[in-house]
Amino acid sequence: MQEIDVYALIGEDGFARLTAAFYRRVPHDDILGPMYPAHDLAGAEQRLRDFLVGRLGGPPRYIEQRGHPRLRARHAPFTINQAARDRWLALMREALEEAALPAEARQFLQAFLDEMSTFMINRPA
Ligand code: HEM
């Protein structure tokens, strides 16, 4: 996958719109809702936003605050089978639509999140 500087294209505001649209959907979802901390959705939103910002061209806030991402290890406590991965990606696709990002950034993010979410599967179907 050819990396592009998504941060230069969409800035803090683009990442904030994307993650807000995603986390607005999470609590209503029958698979994902129960997995996320109901008392700290704002914190979860910030962690994902900071990770994406730092990974895709912006300031490294996530690594400063949380250290090396080790995302597969951090997701190990959660049951991520194909269905959970597909739902996560479906909500992200909706969030990408809602965030109305420039086409080049949206296409890159879609492919990037598609690949990363498959990598996060940690249980058989
Ligand atoms: C495949 C489906 C996925 C599921 C079901 C899932 C679920 C979760 C859950 C339940 C949390 C805990 C929320 C919190 O308190 O932070 C979390 C954290 C997180 N997820 Fe995911 N996730 C998935 C994929 C991804 C992907 C593809 C990425 C990156 C592109 C990602 C990035 C993160 C980050 C950065 C955190 C915070 C980790 C930390 O610092 O503790 N997740 N995820």
Report whether 92 contacts 113 (CB < 8 A).
Answer: yes
Taking residue 95's Cβ as centre, other Cβ atoms within 10 Å add up to 21
Q: List the alpha helices (DSSP H) in the chain.
A: 6-25, 41-55, 61-66, 71-75, 82-99, 103-119
Asked if residue 73 has its Cβ within 6 Å of ligand 1, the reply is no
Confidence band, pLDDT 50/70/90 cuts, at residue 14: very high
Report whether 82 contacts 24 (CB < 8 A).
Answer: no
Rounded average pLDDT over 57-61: 98
The tens digit of pLDDT for each residue in 69-119 reads: 999 999 999 999 999 999 999 999 999 999 999 999 999 999 999 999 999
Q: pTM of the prediction?
A: 0.97
Ligand 1: which of 22, 71, 96, 119 to mutate, most ligand atoms within 8 Å of CB?
71
